[in-house]
Structure formats: structure tokens, C-alpha cells
Amino acid sequence: MLHLRAIVPEDRTDRVCSALAGNPGATNVVVVPGAARSPRGDLVTADVAREAVNEVLAELQDLGVEREGSIALEKIDLSLSEAAERAEERAPGFGDDAVVWEELDRQTAEGATLTWSFVAFLALATQLAAIAALTDSPVLVVGAMVLGPEFGAVAAICYGLLRNDWRRIGVATRSLVIGFVVAIAVTYVCALVSRWIGVIEVGRLPESRPLTAFIYSPDRWSFIVALLAGAAGVLSMTAGKSSALVGVFISVTTVPAAGNLAVALALKHGSEIDGSLAQLGVNFAGMIIAGTLTLVLQRAVWHVVLRRRGRRDPWPRP
């Protein structure tokens, strides 16, 4: 269940309550007249089954609540209510299968934005990956994978392709390109300085690295893993399973490939430069393809579920 909190203009409170009463997945409706001061209005709260949230949000937006008031949703960790249980049973489908499109829209918008923290995390992760390449350390590779923040931008591209939102795709692509260029450049400079002061040597990237060679040697399995990771990453975001997203981070080798690329550039290892670039391309292509197809499939399946239950299939506004 999700908890809905809305500030509603007084002239629309009755219509909002009617919309909530008419939705089988909404319950525990509470109205506090005149409680809100900025913006002014009535406070309306309710508990809504996740699978009914899209319909509720669409109805409130049709009434203009978000323009002259506000709408907020938060997760409920524990709900002891027979009314809530009945609402979940009446709502179509299952909560884990439902995609709250407005939530995904906000998540991907944030993930697509180029921020200082995005670049900083990416640069730190790339430097960890570079050290992993120098020491042939799979533990550091995993650490770099988990630290990398790039999947948010990848998910934004997938959602942008689903919505034909080319602006979002452009913003996310720009964030990825600038973020990785800066991260690789910083790591490259650090590798050069380390080479000049004798911390690393020209020959410190041997051809045989049994534990980390996969980060610059893409093959068919690299693409398959990227496909699986892209699908799993999108599913974890849409289902609200953040723990599963960590597994996605550990599956893809974008950041490790970037770290290896920076070191290979500094030490002039041509074959590993090409391999690292190819690994980057394979991973991004696989994740974007699988992530987009997963969203398309979720959209189609949920449309069928709602149609069978006689419910409309709302779609978030651009």
C-alpha cells in the first residue's frame, strides 16, 4: 500500500473523495477541512494499493489538484487494516507487477540529470576500477561496479524511448557522455602522475590477467549479461526493489571498462584501449535494448490486466 496525501482546493474536495470512493484500490480516506495554509485547501489522505495508484493519480490530475494544490505519495512499511487488505484484493493485478508511471517518470528525470555528485561518484568508481585493472583485483572491480551511478541515466534513456521523449534521451545521453569523459580524464591524469612518480610502470598491464580480463575482452556473454542486467535493473526500479538493483550494478562492466581504458591510455596499451571501448559499447547497448523492451512488455501486460477488469489504463502526462 501507498499513502496518498493531497492538498485539495475546497471546491474540489467532494469530487476528489468521490474519485477515491469509486476506486476499488483506495481506502482509509480522511478529510481535514481547511487544514492546509500554503497552498490553501483541504487535506485529503488515503491508502491506495500500488496497482491502483495510476488510476487515482490520473483522476486527481484531471481535477487539477497538482496545479492548485499538491499530491504526494509515500510507502507504508506496515499497515494493519482489514480495509486495506480488501482494497488490495479488489485492485487489479499484483502490487509487485504494477508500474507507478509518475514515480518512474520522476526517478528517471533525476537519474538523467548531470550533477556534481553524479560526476564525482563516477570518477571515484572509475579510479577504483583502474586500480583493479593494475592489481588484477576482482574485489575492487565489484566495488567500482556498485559505486557507479550510471544506471539511472540508462533507465532514463529506456523510459525516454518508451515515451518518445527525445529531450529526456538527450539529457541522459549528455550526462553519460560528459560523466564518463570527465571520469576517464581524471583517472587518466592520475595514472600519468602515478607513472611519472614511479607508482606504476609501463609494463604493469600484462596481457594475461585471469581475474579481470573480462573488463576489456567483450564476447557474446558480455552482451547477454548486459541484456539480463538491463531487464533486471528496470524491473527493480518499477517494482520498488532497490536491493535487486545492487545485483544489477555488479553485473555490468561499464565502469570497470572505463577505468581500464584510462590506464590503457596512460600506459599506451592499444589493444586494451579498443577492447575497453568495445566493452563499454556492448554494455550500454545491451542494457538500453533490454530495459526498453522490459518497459514495453510491462506496459502491454498491464494494459491487458486493466482491460479485463474494466478499468482504464492511464498514462502520465508529458
pLDDT exceeds cutoff 80 at 279: yes
Q: Residues 171, 50: one domain? A: no
pLDDT band (50, 70, 90) for residue 216 = confident
pLDDT exceeds cutoff 90 at 123: yes
Q: Dihedrals φ, ψ of 206, to 5°?
A: -65, 155
In a domain, 236, yes or no: yes
Q: Residues 70, 176: one domain? A: no
Q: What pLDDT is stored for residue 154 in this prediction? A: 94
Confirm if 258 and 183 have CB atoms less than 8 A apart. Answer: yes
Q: Residues 61, 174: one domain? A: no
Give one DSSP letter per residue of 204-254, joined into a string: -S-S--TTTGGGS---HHHHHHHHHHHHHHHHHHHTT-HHHHHHHHHH--H
> Sign of torsion, CA 136 139 142 143?
negative
Higher pLDDT, 217 or 258: 258
Q: Residues 138, 282: one domain? A: yes
- Number of domains the chain is built from: 2
Q: Residues 210, 65: one domain? A: no
Give one DSSP letter per residue of 29-95, joined into a string: EEEEEEEEETTEEEEEEEEE-GGGHHHHHHHHHHTTHHHHSEEEEEE-S----HHHHHHHHHSSS-G
Per the structure, the complete domain to which residue 185 belongs is given by: 103-304
Place of cell 541484456: 227
Please write the tens of the pLDDT for every residue from 32-70.
Answer: 999 999 899 999 999 999 888 888 998 999 999 999 999
Q: Residues 66, 138: one domain? A: no
CATH code, 57? 3.30.70.260
Q: Residues 141, 69: one domain? A: no
Q: What pLDDT is stored for residue 4 in this prediction? A: 95
Contacts of 219 (CB under 8 A, 6+ apart): none
pLDDT band (50, 70, 90) for residue 147 = confident
pLDDT band (50, 70, 90) for residue 5 = very high
Candidate from 104-108, 140-144, 188-192, 196-200 with smallest mean pLDDT: 196-200
Q: What pLDDT is stored for residue 268 in this prediction? A: 80
Q: Residues 255, 113: one domain? A: yes
Q: Report the predicted TM-score, pTM, of the whole model to 2 decimal places.
A: 0.86
Percent of the chain residues topping a pLDDT of 70: 90
Residues linked to residue 41 through DSSP beta bridges, in sequence order: 36
Cell of 119: 560526476
Higher pLDDT, 91 or 116: 116
Please write the tens of the pLDDT for every residue from 185-197.
Answer: 999 999 888 878 8
Higher pLDDT, 123 or 194: 123
- What's the CA gap between 97 and 190, in Å, rounded? 45
Q: Residues 79, 115: one domain? A: no
Q: What pLDDT is stored for residue 100 in this prediction? A: 87
Cell of 209: 590477467
pLDDT exceeds cutoff 90 at 134: no
Q: What pLDDT is stored for residue 185 in this prediction? A: 96
Q: What pLDDT is stored for residue 137 in this prediction? A: 86
In a domain, 96, yes or no: no
Residue 317 is classified by DSSP as -
